[in-house]
């Protein structure tokens, strides 16, 4: 009788020992995000978090989930893995922030064809960095090796965030009025949206990620991590009545700002008030992209919009500037269709 080979999970492409080692490697990164409300460490079946009910009388939980899209392909090509985790956190916490919520905790999902410890460790370190910026605890996650699903060297990310807000302080845009000012907070670049078009532009233009752009490389400019607006905006909420917030992601200003406006109101944006990082000029030039397509694909220099009364605009800008943000009035709210006019 022929003796059959005894197969293992590793033979199938899944290395349990590598997964266990990763848990050990990332413990310090995870611990650096710990909040007093965290009741568990990593490695369990579920993360435990005690709600800070002593600070809220009528709390509402706010959840958000997102990924970073094909920006991952550029990170993999450039071999820069320690900032893409910041992007992942930013995309989730900035969404939760739009309601006025304080991010509490974060979970991540990391899927790959084969676990490369150094890469995964760098990614999680970036996630922890983003969590520290947002004040959110990294309380758990999942690492999945799926040979045959992903190509060698590829990986994918998803994140999930939970925040908390006082019911009476939820920001839903309902208090917005004609004449209110729209304040734009500067972005660091394309953030985490429009990268399928970015990659197409690179392909058709014949340019390379290692080409020079400004003081650095094109790839480095494109991989600038998404700004996390949690601390500056939450500081603003303590001092100024904010009537609406909009995270400017895929769809740009025309698609995202109307999402937080009530029926019968739209926004008029002054294009001359928007300062676009050089990378957007590069993209428009090398892709021969029309202005309207730029604005409905990219944030074009504005990562978050804040709507306040005209009387509060100067105070809001001062508060945001003191918190390290570049902010300016870029338009106003007007009566009419719930659309954005950029001129």
Which domain covers residue 319, as residue numbers?
181-342
Distance CA 212, CA 221 (A): 10
Residue 176 falls inside a structural domain: no
Q: What is the pLDDT of residues 151-193, one digit of tens each?
A: 999 999 999 999 999 999 999 999 999 999 999 999 999 999 9
Dump strand ranges (E) for 167-301. Answer: 181-186, 212-213, 216-217, 244-247, 265-269
Q: Are residues 54 and 156 in the same domain?
A: yes
Contacts of 6 (CB under 8 A, 6+ apart): none
Distance CA 123, CA 83 (A): 7
Which of 55, 35, 329, 20 shows the shortest CA–CA distance to 182?
329
Residue 137 falls inside a structural domain: yes
Final residue before a domain boundary, out of 103, 134, 169:
169
- Domain of residue 299, CATH code: 3.90.650.10
What's the pLDDT at 2? Answer: 60
Q: What is the pLDDT of residues 213-224, one digit of tens each?
A: 988 999 999 999
Tell me if 51 sits within 8 A of 58, measured CB to CB.
no
Q: Are residues 192 and 261 in the same domain?
A: yes
Q: Are residues 224 and 276 in the same domain?
A: yes
| CA distances, 119 to each of 35, 109, 271 (Å) | 26, 14, 40
Residue 4 falls inside a structural domain: no
Q: Give the DSSP letter of residue 59.
A: E
Residue 33 falls inside a structural domain: yes
Q: Are residues 129 and 189 in the same domain?
A: no
Tell me if 40 sits within 8 A of 143, measured CB to CB.
no
User: The tokens of 233 are what?
Assistant: 């905006």
Q: Are residues 328 and 201 in the same domain?
A: yes
Residue 299 falls inside a structural domain: yes
Q: Are residues 117 and 191 in the same domain?
A: no
Final residue before a domain boundary, out of 139, 169, 199:
169
Count of domains for the chain: 2
Final residue before a domain boundary, out of 169, 192, 209:
169
Which residues of the chain have a pLDDT value below 50?
1
User: The tokens of 119 are what?
Assistant: 């890469």
Residue 47 falls inside a structural domain: yes
């Amino acid at each position: 009788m022929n003796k059959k080979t005894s197969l293992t999970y590793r033979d199938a492409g899944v290395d349990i020992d590598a997964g266990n080692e990763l848990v050990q490697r990332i413990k310090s990164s995870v611990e650096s995000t710990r909040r007093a409300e965290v009741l568990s460490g990593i490695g369990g079946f579920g993360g435990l978090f005690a709600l800070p009910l002593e600070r809220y009388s009528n709390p509402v939980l706010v959840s958000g989930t997102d990924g970073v899209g094909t920006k991952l392909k550029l990170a993999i090509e450039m071999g820069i893995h320690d900032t893409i985790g910041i992007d992942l956190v930013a995309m989730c916490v900035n969404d939760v922030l739009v309601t006025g919520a304080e991010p509490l905790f974060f979970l991540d999902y990391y899927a790959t064809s084969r676990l490369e410890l150094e890469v995964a460790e760098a990614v999680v370190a970036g996630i922890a960095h983003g969590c520290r910026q947002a004040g959110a605890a990294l309380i758990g996650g999942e690492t999945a090796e799926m040979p045959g699903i992903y190509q060698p060297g590829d990986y994918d990310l998803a994140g999930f965030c939970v925040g908390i807000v006082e019911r009476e302080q939820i920001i839903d845009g309902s208090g917005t009025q004609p004449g209110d000012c729209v304040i734009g907070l500067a972005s660091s670049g394309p953030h985490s949206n429009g990268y399928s078009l970015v990659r197409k532009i690179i392909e058709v233009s014949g340019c390379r990620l290692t080409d020079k752009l400004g003081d650095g490389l094109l790839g480095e400019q494109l991989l600038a991590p998404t700004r996390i607006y949690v601390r500056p905006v939450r500081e603003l909420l303590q001092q100024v009545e904010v009537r609406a917030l909009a995270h400017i992601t895929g769809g740009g200003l025309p698609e995202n700002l109307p999402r937080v406006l009530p029926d019968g109101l739209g926004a008029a944006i002054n294009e001359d008030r928007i300062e676009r990082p050089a990378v957007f000029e590069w993209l428009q030039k090398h892709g021969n992209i029309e202005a309207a397509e730029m604005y409905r694909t990219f944030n074009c220099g504005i990562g978050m919009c804040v709507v306040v009364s005209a009387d509060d605009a100067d105070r809001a800008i001062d508060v945001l500037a003191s918190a390290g943000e570049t902010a300016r009035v870029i338009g106003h709210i007007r009566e009419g269709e719930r659309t954005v006019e950029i001129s």
